[in-house]
């Protein structure tokens, strides 16, 4: 697992996001998929979002992304769907007939998180969180200091 860093953060926020064209029409032909991929990569570069994996099918899009903590998932999806919708409708006029209301994507999306820590591990940690000095734990005088094995190996 690789952590990413910001000016004051160390994070690992990965999301699996799925969305589809309106009415789930299978309109994502090869040229449209390639253009959507190009536009999405540009947006991710601008926002500092890392694309771990992505797949575009004829009727939906899957993205597995690492989003920085200062960007809400809903804002990221809004930017990607909005920019791709506007640009591909400008560049592929045949889509205007099918999507006459200027809305190419469905309103919603699916999103789930991914991580190496399970719900059971978090619950077990929280069960013992308020014990006084469990196993000789001493808080660091300067606040939170990540364990050296949990620090990122690159980017410093």
Angle between helices 73-91 and 30-47 (to 10 degrees): 140
Put simply, whether the predicted model's pTM sits higher than 0.85 gets the answer no
Is 125 a residue of the active site? yes
Q: Does the structure show a pLDDT above 90 at 117?
A: no
- CATH code for the domain of 90: 3.30.70.1290
**Taking a C-beta distance cutoff of 8 angstroms, is the pair 49, 72 a contact?**
no
Find where tokens 């006029």 sit. 93
Q: Confirm whether 88 is domain-assigned.
A: yes
Q: Confirm whether 116 is domain-assigned.
A: yes
Q: Confirm whether 155 is domain-assigned.
A: no
Pick from 94, 114, 112: nearest CA to 104? 94
Q: Confirm whether 37 is domain-assigned.
A: yes
Our measurement of the distance from residue 149's CA atom to the centroid of its chain's CA atoms, rounded to an integer in Å, reads 25
Find where tokens 């619950």 sit. 123
Beta bridge partners of 62: 18, 55
Catalytic residue chosen out of the listed positions 15, 23, 25, 125? 125
- Structural domain count of the chain: 1
3-class state of residue 111 by DSSP: strand
Range of the domain at 73: 4-150
What value does the mean pLDDT of the chain take? Answer: 83
pLDDT band at 133; cut points 50, 70, 90: low
Q: Confirm whether 156 is domain-assigned.
A: no
């Amino acid at each position: 697992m690789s952590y990413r860093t910001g000016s004051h953060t160390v994070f690992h926020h990965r999301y699996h996001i799925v969305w589809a064209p309106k009415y789930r029409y299978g309109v994502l032909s090869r040229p449209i998929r390639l253009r959507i991929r190009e536009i999405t990569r540009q947006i991710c570069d601008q926002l500092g979002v890392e694309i771990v994996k992505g797949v575009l099918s004829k009727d939906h899009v899957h993205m597995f992304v690492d989003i920085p903590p200062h960007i809400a998932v809903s804002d990221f999806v809004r930017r990607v769907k909005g920019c791709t919708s506007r640009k591909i409708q400008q560049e592929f006029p045949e889509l205007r007939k099918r999507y006459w209301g200027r809305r190419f994507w469905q309103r919603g999306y699916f999103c789930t998180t991914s991580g190496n820590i399970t719900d059971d591990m978090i619950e077990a940690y929280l069960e013992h969180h308020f014990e006084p000095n469990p196993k000789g734990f001493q808080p660091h005088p300067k606040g939170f200091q990540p364990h050296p094995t949990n620090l990122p190996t690159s980017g410093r």
